[in-house]
Amino acid sequence: MKEINSDNNISFKYTGYFIIVVLLFPLVSMLVYSLFNTDWMTKNPILYLLIYILLASLFLTRLFILRGSYKYANDLILAVSAGWIGISYIATGQKLFDEPPSLDLVKEHPFLFYTIAFKFILVTSSLVTKAAITFIEFIRAWRKEEKDFTGISAWFRFKLIFKKPRAIKKT
């Protein structure tokens, strides 16, 4: 009998977390909460979207910290959504999917409203996550560079920026 590798189990676990955070969490939470309290959503639409965008971004950033490969999954979401927005704009001439949905749409076409809201939350949370990932990578690279500059003062490094390069003498 073949043994199951624990690394594969961990990989599937994180993939499951990614699917839950990116795809299911915003959609299910919007649907469940709107069933119980539609007044709150109509009175505070910006806060409603902001909460879900920040929660999804926080979870996606946490997944990146645990496993760096989720940066590429986040980039894939951004690339696909940019293509979707571009093609829909070229095909229809209208910006249907890159703006938050209007509240009138909830009463007339609730499924369309939730689809547009889900896509807006997905893209916006991916953008916020991309900014957070870039900041984390900047801090990591900065710390690594600082280790390489041990023994060199900050003033000397500043002077190196403005130092004139030496000419190479031909012999």
Structure confidence at residue 129 (pLDDT): 92
Position 33 in a domain: yes
Position 98 in a domain: yes
Position 170 in a domain: no
pTM of the predicted model as reported, rounded to 2 decimal places: 0.63
Which residues constitute the domain of residue 130? 6-162
Position 171 in a domain: no
Structure confidence at residue 1 (pLDDT): 44
Number of domains in the chain: 1
Position 54 in a domain: yes
Closest CA to 18 of 116, 119, 129, 120: 129
Position 169 in a domain: no
Q: For the CA atoms of the chain, what is the radius of gyration?
A: 23
- Ramachandran assignment for 101, one of left (phi > 0), alpha (psi -120 to 50 degrees), beta (any other): beta
Position 1 in a domain: no
Block residue for tokens 């870039």? 134
Own/partner long-range contacts of 65-71 (Cβ < 8 Å, ≥24 apart): 65/136, 66/14, 67/14, 70/14, 70/18, 71/133
Position 99 in a domain: yes
Block residue for tokens 């919007």? 30
Mean pLDDT for back-to-back runs of 10 residues, the chain (171 residues): 52 66 66 64 72 82 86 90 83 72 75 78 89 91 78 73 70 61
Structure confidence at residue 118 (pLDDT): 79
